[in-house]
């Protein structure tokens, strides 16, 4: 807002206030707003909500205030947005009375901490939840219903992020999504602490991202095998990023009942390095490629698994190459795991082709799929599955990545299913076409994120 506009608004406010005949001072029983406690502030009033003409001060909106049964309440989400210090506000009512009140925000390194990091408001206030699968809100992993009692999880305070109490086993397993925190500026020692429980470390994790570039600077998962989603405290050194704006992103890409991520106690400011908690292992994907070609190395699997990294979600091995075909059934149909390719550069027409087979399970599109990701952010830009369900016979799927021309991408091939025929076969991967290929509806890869 320009200086002239601010001056005009100030003059207008003075004119409006000058017409008021009476002034009252509202006082709160609370000493102030604590970023740690996330408390509301309340004031006794003699007017009703319908009597209010406007509320003024520090960009406050009428929706930030509730008035009921003689109590004016200022909500925590607005309070958390204020800088530490004193703030003055005015409520004007229809009888031309000004009701002034003051808010004191305690200095608890607020801008260096995420809002509601311990979920102690009893909901996801301060966090933003989003879908990652067909925009289906009904299977969203992170909702207010996922804030549960901390007692059974060894969590801090009263509330933790866990499995919603109204879920049956099947629906709990289908839930997918992401949960993003508010932005904070890393300061102090540069260490952060948090508690995690449950989950699949390769599909359920916490990303630390730069708020401007969205580059993933660290990724942490729960590596402790405690029963019932019980929480393990972790600590992580991010001191190389002190002074940078960051945010946290909780990720649930697992559609099994055991893939629920439990979490609590995200604290992003420590003046000195914390001594308690397990050192968190950074699981951010890394690549050694000096030169990134436009054609994926070993895309035809003639060299076996050379050029690919594999992990298994169980005790046995998952991926192997047989007759130049990548298969995820080395340990049988119930074998589960993830295979990550090397990098390729989007070039030429920008189209790629992947010959895919199998994966005929009832939920194959959630459990058995191919994910395409960017190297710099590790964000998933495309996810698809074998929608033709044609058994082991390969189907050529074409994907238009021309909007990512010049970017470095990689593939993650995921088999997280354990039933008969819940196995993925990949026959060939071609990541360069000089001109756009001829594509039909049956051979077009459909993005499951849209």
Listed by start position, the domains of the chain span 3-105, 110-279, 309-443
- The model's confidence at residue 286, banded by pLDDT at 50, 70 and 90, is very high
Output the six-digit token pair for 405: 């021309």
Average pLDDT over residues 233-240: 98
| Cβ contact 218:282 at 8 Å | yes
What torsion do the CA atoms of 275, 277, 278, 280 make, to the nearest 10 degrees?
Answer: -90
Tell me the backbone φ, ψ of residue 174, rounded to 5 degrees.
-85, -10
What torsion do the CA atoms of 364, 366, 369, 370 make, to the nearest 10 degrees?
Answer: 170
Whole-number Å distance between alpha carbons of 343 and 341: 7
Could you tell me which residues come within 8 angstroms of residue 432 by beta carbon, excluding any fewer than 6 positions away? 294, 295, 344, 347, 348, 352
* pLDDT value for 294: 97
| Cβ contact 379:424 at 8 Å | no
Output the six-digit token pair for 50: 């319908």
Using a 10 angstrom Cβ sphere, with 0-12 exposed, 13-18 middle and 19 or more buried, the burial of residue 112 is middle
Output the six-digit token pair for 374: 């960017």
Of 142, 136, 252, 264, which is closest to residue 197 (Cα–Cα)? 264
Average pLDDT over residues 315-340: 91
Output the six-digit token pair for 173: 């397993």
Whole-number Å distance between alpha carbons of 150 and 160: 5
- The model's confidence at residue 420, banded by pLDDT at 50, 70 and 90, is low
Using a 10 angstrom Cβ sphere, with 0-12 exposed, 13-18 middle and 19 or more buried, the burial of residue 135 is exposed
* pLDDT value for 13: 46
Mind listing the pLDDT tens digit for each residue in 329-340? 998 878 899 999
Of 309, 326, 329, 306, which is closest to residue 318 (Cα–Cα)? 329
| H or E stretch at 213 | none
Mind listing the pLDDT tens digit for each residue in 342-399? 999 999 999 999 999 876 644 567 888 999 999 999 999 999 888 876 667 889 999 9
Of 158, 194, 167, 345, which is closest to residue 269 (Cα–Cα)? 194
Mind listing the pLDDT tens digit for each residue in 166-217? 776 566 667 889 999 999 999 999 999 999 999 999 999 999 999 999 999 9
Is-same-fold flag (110-279; 309-443)?
yes
Mind listing the pLDDT tens digit for each residue in 349-362? 999 999 998 766 44
Domain spanning 110-279 has what CATH number?
Answer: 2.60.120.260
Output the six-digit token pair for 107: 């200095």
Topology (CATH level 3) of domain 309-443 = Jelly Rolls (2.60.120)
The model's pTM? 0.90
Output the six-digit token pair for 271: 């003046």
State what percent of residues in the chain have pLDDT above 90. Answer: 74
- 3-105: CATH, from 2.60.40.1550, 3.40.50.150, 3.30.70.870, 1.10.357.10: 2.60.40.1550
Task: Mean pLDDT check: name the lowest of 181-185, 227-231, 282-286.
Answer: 227-231
């Amino acid at each position: 807002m320009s200086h002239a506009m601010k001056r005009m608004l100030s003059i207008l406010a003075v004119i409006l206030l000058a017409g008021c005949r009476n002034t009252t001072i509202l006082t709160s029983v609370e000493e102030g707003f604590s970023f740690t406690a996330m408390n509301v502030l309340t004031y006794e009033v003699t007017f009703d909500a319908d009597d209010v003409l406007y509320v003024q001060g520090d960009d406050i909106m009428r929706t930030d205030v509730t008035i009921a049964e003689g109590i004016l309440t200022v909500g925590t989400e607005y309070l958390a947005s204020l800088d530490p210090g004193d703030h003055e506000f005015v409520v004007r009512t229809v009888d031309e009375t000004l009701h002034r009140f003051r808010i004191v925000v305690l200095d608890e390194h607020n801008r260096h901490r995420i809002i509601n990091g311990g979920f102690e408001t009893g909901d996801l206030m301060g966090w933003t939840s989003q879908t990652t699968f067909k925009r289906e809100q009904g299977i969203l992993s992170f909702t207010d219903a996922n804030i549960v009692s901390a007692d059974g999880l060894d969590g801090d305070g009263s509330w933790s992020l866990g499995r919603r109490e109204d879920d049956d086993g099947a629906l709990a397993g289908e839930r997918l999504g992401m949960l993003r925190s508010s932005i904070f500026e890393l300061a102090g020692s540069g260490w952060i602490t948090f508690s995690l429980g449950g989950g699949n470390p390769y599909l359920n994790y916490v990303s630390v991202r730069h708020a401007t570039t969205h580059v993933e600077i660290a990724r942490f998962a729960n590596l402790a095998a405690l029963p019932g989603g019980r929480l393990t405290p972790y600590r992580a050194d991010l001191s190389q990023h002190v002074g940078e704006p960051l945010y946290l992103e909780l990720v649930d890409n697992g559609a099994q009942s055991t893939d629920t991520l439990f979490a609590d106690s995200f604290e992003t400011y420590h003046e000195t390095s914390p001594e308690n908690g397990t050192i968190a292992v950074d699981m951010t994907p890394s690549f050694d490629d000096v030169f990134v070609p436009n054609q994926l190395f070993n895309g035809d699997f003639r060299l076996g698994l050379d050029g690919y990294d594999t992990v298994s979600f169980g005790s046995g091995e998952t991926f192997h190459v047989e007759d130049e075909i990548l298969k995820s059934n080395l340990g049988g149909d119930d074998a589960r795991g993830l295979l990550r390719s090397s990098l390729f550069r989007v070039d030429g027409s920008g189209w790629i082709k992947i010959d895919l087979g199998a994966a005929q399970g009832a939920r194959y599109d959630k459990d058995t799929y191919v994910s395409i990701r960017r190297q710099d952010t590790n964000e998933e830009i495309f996810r698809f599955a074998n929608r033709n369900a044609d058994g082991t016979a390969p189907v050529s799927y074409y994907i238009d990545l021309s909007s990512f021309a010049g970017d470095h991408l990689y593939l993650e091939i995921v088999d997280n299913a354990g039933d008969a025929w819940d196995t993925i076969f990949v026959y060939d991967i071609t990541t360069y076409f000089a001109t756009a290929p001829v594509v039909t509806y049956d051979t077009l890869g459909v993005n499951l994120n849209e």
